[in-house]
Amino acid sequence: MEFFNPVHIVAGIDGAAYLTRFIEKQYSKLGMILLITRGMDFLQSDAYKLLKSILEPWKVREVSLTVSNPDVADMAALLEILSGESYEGIIAVGGGSVLDTAKTMALALLVGIRGIAALRKFVLRGQYEPVVPIPWIGIPTTSGTGSEVTSWATVWDKENECKMSCSCDKNFAVLAVIDPIFTVTCPLSLTISSALDAVCHSTESFWARHTNEISQEFALLAIRQIRGHLEDLAQHRQDDALRFLIGKASLYAGMAFSNTRTTVCHSVSYPLTEKFGIPHGVAAALTLGDFMEFNKAAIPRYDELLLAFQCHSAQEVKSWIFRMLGLGNFSTHLYDYRITQSDIPYLVRHSFTKGRTDNNPVAVQESDVDQLLRHLV
């Protein structure tokens, strides 16, 4: 068994205080720190004020990333804005889009990548592999992506209708801070969709071909906490203790899949998000119950997985997920996302990402995805 994750993790209501001490040790004050946030309402929050006070002694260049699922053109535009400066470190405060952008910037800024074509080539051809990235700190404002403890960064390419990824073992964060003060502004719909993303990370990690015992333990822990507390959190989102529980669960899910990657549910989700704009966690969760049924004979410790969900069957897991989607006001019918039967062939064609579908414990055929998606329309 092998497991690798080098991220220094701080989790607690004193996470921000620890951040101060860490920054003092990590950065020299000679260079510039790049602060990337998700902007908007976060800039009015107490967490943002706290962050600004922590960074007061440093030279800081600040940018906001307000788009979700940024693609290669968005990132190239950001590189254009940020180029010409030498950054000693990057602090990313946001959801998966912000953290993944920070990871891409940590690699691309160092080698002076400019323009869409150059960035696309940089990612697709793995030109980032020899780069020693700018050290970056990840502070999630949503509980779900786990990006603060994984090394890969998604870069969407809308023009070519695909998802690219920087996958580089050197690009783990130097520090991840899980402090419930940063998730106060997370709205209900995002609370639900991101928590379901974490449920998918855990479950897919648990049954992945590349699973291992350590990942499986993290996965079970994450599922138990989310199953046990997400509904409460939906009703009491200002409760620090509940937000912290789900924040830790997301972290555990990130730890789990950081060493296994995900499987078919994530792979099928990519065109649902890229082409039809379904939020990432929703898109992955829509097929989780059905693929659990599809995979069940090949899932190791299947009874323990069901127990973590407090369920007796994959059908019950699917019902719970669909109930949670309802809590977040998300439809469980693809038709409501403007997807019709005529779109299914496109979705099937784009559902087979290398390293994901082939990481599923049972081999998946195009006809399996076709049939499953048609039932969801």
Binding site for Fe ion (CB under 5 A): 197
Compute the least distance from the CB of residue 325 to Fe ion, in Å: 15
CB closest to Fe ion, residue no: 197
Compute the least distance from the CB of residue 360 to Fe ion, in Å: 15
- Rank residues 197 and 343 by Cβ distance to Fe ion and give the closer one: 197
Specify burial of residue 149 (Cβ count, 10 A radius: 0-12, 13-18, 19+). buried
Q: Which residue has the tokens 């977040």?
A: 328
- Rank residues 198 and 348 by Cβ distance to Fe ion and give the closer one: 198
Compute the least distance from the CB of residue 145 to Fe ion, in Å: 6
Write the DSSP assignment of 84-128 as a string of letters. TS-EEEEEEEESHHHHHHHHHHHHHTTTT--SHHHHHHHHHTTTT
- Rank residues 106 and 195 by Cβ distance to Fe ion and give the closer one: 195
Gyration radius (Cα) of the chain, Å: 20
Compute the least distance from the CB of residue 65 to Fe ion, in Å: 18
305-314: long-range contacts (C-beta < 8 A, 24 or more apart)? 305/203, 305/206, 305/207, 305/220, 305/223, 308/220, 308/223, 308/224, 308/227, 309/223, 309/227, 310/227, 310/228, 314/289, 314/290
Compute the least distance from the CB of residue 370 to Fe ion, in Å: 23
Name the CA dihedral angle for 51, 10, 208, 276, rounded to a multiple of 10 degrees.
-10
Compute the least distance from the CB of residue 193 to Fe ion, in Å: 10
- Rank residues 197 and 368 by Cβ distance to Fe ion and give the closer one: 197
- Rank residues 163 and 243 by Cβ distance to Fe ion and give the closer one: 163
Compute the least distance from the CB of residue 44 to Fe ion, in Å: 28
Compute the least distance from the CB of residue 269 to Fe ion, in Å: 8
Provide the 10 A C-beta neighbour count for residue 111: 12
Query: SS3 sequence, 154-189?
Result: EEEECCCCEEEEEECHHHCCCEEEECHHHHCCCCHH
Evaluate whether 23 touches 234 at the Cβ level (below 8 Å). Answer: no
- Give the CA count within 13 Å in the CB-facing half-sphere of 189: 7
Give Cα 254 distance to the centre of its chain.
8
| Interstrand relation of 162-167 and 152-157 (parallel, antiparallel or unpaired) | antiparallel
Evaluate whether 95 touches 38 at the Cβ level (below 8 Å). Answer: yes
Distances (CA, A) of 219 to 139, 216, 225, 313, 322: 21, 5, 10, 18, 20
Compute the least distance from the CB of residue 211 to Fe ion, in Å: 16
- Rank residues 47 and 288 by Cβ distance to Fe ion and give the closer one: 288
